[in-house]
Amino acid sequence: MYMTLSDGSDRVAAGQRPEAAQDVVYAWLKQYVLTLPRDETTFLTESQVCRETGVSRTPVREAFLRLEADGLLKILPKKGAYISPITDAEVVSIMQARRLVEEWCAQQASRFGGAVADELDRLIAVQEQVRNDPVAFIERDREFHRTIVRAAGNPILAAFYESLRDRQVRMGVHAISVGRRIDEVLTEHGAIAQAIRESAADRAVAAVGTHLELTLAALRAPLFGDWSSNVRAG
């Protein structure tokens, strides 16, 4: 499908520095891409984005290049940009990779007990505050899991985990659109944090495994309603 543009309320201010214009267009496009249904294919043209944001082609082109570097779209020379769906096979592969990394990291993080759990509890509270903003909720979700991964103290695993970030955000927005998944995520995060607080490594690993299994099930479920479209339109 082609991009459906909004009313232009987020246009870049006239006379804005080229670097600032590029950053605004990048953030605007990234929000759009990340809230696409994971199984949706979209084609964007530079002229469409120029009309929407009120900027010239140069910052739009640079924003496209940055998003391509992030792995969120593919530039088609002289045509525009293509956003591919996230396939079922890719979903499974990403979740398998997450489980391998996160279960081990939860076991290691459990050695630090309350020092890690206090930060996890803080992030759960922030997630509760932004539960009506799916992208913000998933960004905080990523920070929750990143905190556990970093606490394990393996920089190679941490760097690998970061490479999955943006695909996880788009997948996560889909996952929390299913049923009462937001409430479930908050409860599951609480169980992980509590197990780490008590230095119960086996329980922390099990809690992470259960959380990721339920997330995968949500990712495989069909969307109910049209939340993602409403997010983009707003």
Lowest mean pLDDT among 32-41, 74-83, 105-114: 32-41
Domain that holds residue 30: 18-85
* Phi then psi dihedrals of residue 83, to 5 deg: -110, 115
d(CA 173, CA 219): 9
Can you give the pLDDT at residue 126? 97
Among the candidates 85, 113, 129, a domain finishes at 85
The model's pLDDT over 112-169, given as tens digits with 9 standing for 90+, comes to 999 999 999 999 999 999 999 888 898 899 999 999 999 999 999 999 998 887 677 7
The model's pLDDT over 161-216, given as tens digits with 9 standing for 90+, comes to 988 876 777 788 778 877 789 999 999 999 999 999 999 999 999 999 999 999 99
Question: C-alpha distances in angstroms, 24 versus 30, 49, 54, 60?
Answer: 10, 12, 11, 10
Can you give the pLDDT at residue 11? 46
Average pLDDT, rounded, for the chain: 83
Check if the beta carbon of residue 101 is closer than 8 Å to that of residue 149.
yes
Q: Is residue 9 part of a domain?
A: no
Residues 65 and 130 reside in one and the same domain:
no
Can you give the pLDDT at residue 170? 76
**Which residues, at least 6 apart from 136, have a Cβ–Cβ distance to it below 8 Å?**
130
Residue with tokens 């329980």: 203
Among the candidates 85, 103, 120, a domain finishes at 85
- With vertex at residue 107, the alpha carbon angle to CA 145 and CA 203, rounded to the nearest 5 degrees, is 95
**Number of compact structural domains in the chain:** 2
Evaluated on CA atoms 216, 221, 227, 228, the torsion sign reads positive
Q: What pTM value is reported for the model?
A: 0.74
Among the candidates 33, 52, 85, a domain finishes at 85
Q: Is residue 3 part of a domain?
A: no
Q: Quick check: 227 pLDDT over 50? A: no
Q: In CATH, what number is assigned to the domain containing residue 58? A: 1.10.10.10
